[in-house]
Amino acid sequence: MSRSLISSSKNPPIQIGNFRELDELKTCGCAKSANEQTSWKYHNPGKRFWNYSNSLTSLKICDYFLWKDDELREGYYKNLNRTLKQQVDSKEKFVELINLIKKVVELEFMLSKEKSVVDKLEKNVTKEKQVVMMLNNKLEASMQQNFMLKVLVVIIMLIVALWCFK
Closest CA to 33 of 18, 53, 48, 49: 53
120-124 long-range contacts (CB < 8 A, ≥24 apart) are none
User: Is residue 21 classed exposed, middle or buried when 0-12, 13-18 and 19+ CB atoms within 10 A define those classes?
Assistant: exposed
pLDDT in tens, 49-100: 877 765 566 666 677 777 787 776 667 677 777 888 888 989 999 999 999 9
pLDDT of residue 24: 60
Give the CA distances from residue 76 to residues 13, 40, 73, 82, 84, in Å, rounded to whole numbers and listed in that order. 40, 16, 9, 10, 12
For residue 51, what pLDDT is reported? Answer: 79
CA dist 34 and 28 (Å) reads 6
So what's the pLDDT on residue 17? 43
**What mean pLDDT is predicted for residues 151-166?**
92
Tens digit of each residue's pLDDT (9 = 90 or more) over 100-109: 999 999 999 9
The residue extents of the domains of the chain are 1-71
pLDDT > 70 in the chain, percent: 73
Question: Over the chain, what is the mean pLDDT?
Answer: 79
Within 14-54, strands assigned E span: 14-16, 35-39, 47-51
Record the pTM.
Answer: 0.41
User: What whole-number distance in Å separates Cα of residue 36 and Cα of residue 48?
Assistant: 7
